[in-house]
Amino acid sequence: MNPLVLIVGRLATEAKGVRGEPYAAGRRYFESVARAGGMPLMLPPITSLIDDIPDLLRQVDAVVLHGGGDVDPRRYGQEPSAEQLYGIVAEHDEVELAVVAAVLSLEVPMLAICRGMQVLNVAMGGTLVQDIGQHDIGGESHWFAHHQVALEAGSRLAKAIGSETVTAAHCVHHQALDRIADGLVVVGMTADGIVHACESTSDAWVVATQWHPEDTSATDTQQQSLFTSLVDAC
């Protein structure tokens, strides 16, 4: 059987072909995992199931923590201060923080994408810049824009894509990592100084990108290689 890759889903307001409000996750994540040889599964954000998450993760081989709205700043010890904050959902925060705790405890391979990287940092004790537009960090847009990302030589990410440069990272974010959590190391940045990749310092294959590799993975081998490396780490 192909490795089982758990994708953490979202509350959603509509979907075609179903009755009632759905749980959802973007198709591109599932398709990227399938191309890599994994079997994608979705975990709905049901908070009553949080206590069962460690047992669930013992039965799967890897996790994808994907993009979405903002983490509630109270989760990292701040009051909301940016008007640009959006999409804060308590159930998403609670379930994803619990997933990260179990991933780290059980050393399950994980690829954390965009919001997922931010959740990883917060779960481990780090903080976020609530809106990068409020800070003098170069003034480049990271909202539906492609950037080059310089990677640390020898990092898991550089090994995965076979290069120390991500040539076209598709960015859709208005926040960034601020204080980096203990147990994480920065391995990729854009020219304006924004952290775009980090990894766990443990032996587990826990890799995070601020950009969205799933958006272009169907045609960009660099981006698809991240999903392939995740599955290979199972």
- Supply φ then ψ for residue 167, to 5 degrees: -80, -30
SS3 of 146, please? strand
| Closest by CA position to 114, among listed 125, 101, 102, 128 | 128
**Would you give the distance in Å from CA 220 to the centre of its chain?**
19
Res. 19 pLDDT band, cuts 50 70 90: confident
- On the question of pLDDT at 135 being above 60, the answer is no
pLDDT one-digit tens code per residue, 172-221: 999 999 999 999 999 999 998 999 999 999 999 999 999 999 999 999 99
Q: Residue 193 has which token pair?
A: 């100084």
- On the question of pLDDT at 160 being above 80, the answer is yes
Predicted TM-score (pTM) of the model is: 0.96
- What domain range includes position 208? 4-232
Residues, the chain: 234
Q: How many domains does the chain have?
A: 1
Give the helix/strand (H/E) hosting 111: strand 110-113
Q: Residue 122 has which token pair?
A: 């917060």
Buried b (16+ CB within 10 A) or exposed e, 47-70: eeebeebbeebeebbbbbbbbbeb
CA-atom Rg of the chain in angstroms: 17
Q: Domain with 24 in it: what CATH number?
A: 3.40.50.880
Q: Residue 105 has which token pair?
A: 């405890």
Q: Residue 197 has which token pair?
A: 């990749």
Q: Which residues are catalytic?
A: 114, 212, 214
Q: Look over the chain and give the mean of its residue pLDDT values, rounded to a whole number.
A: 95
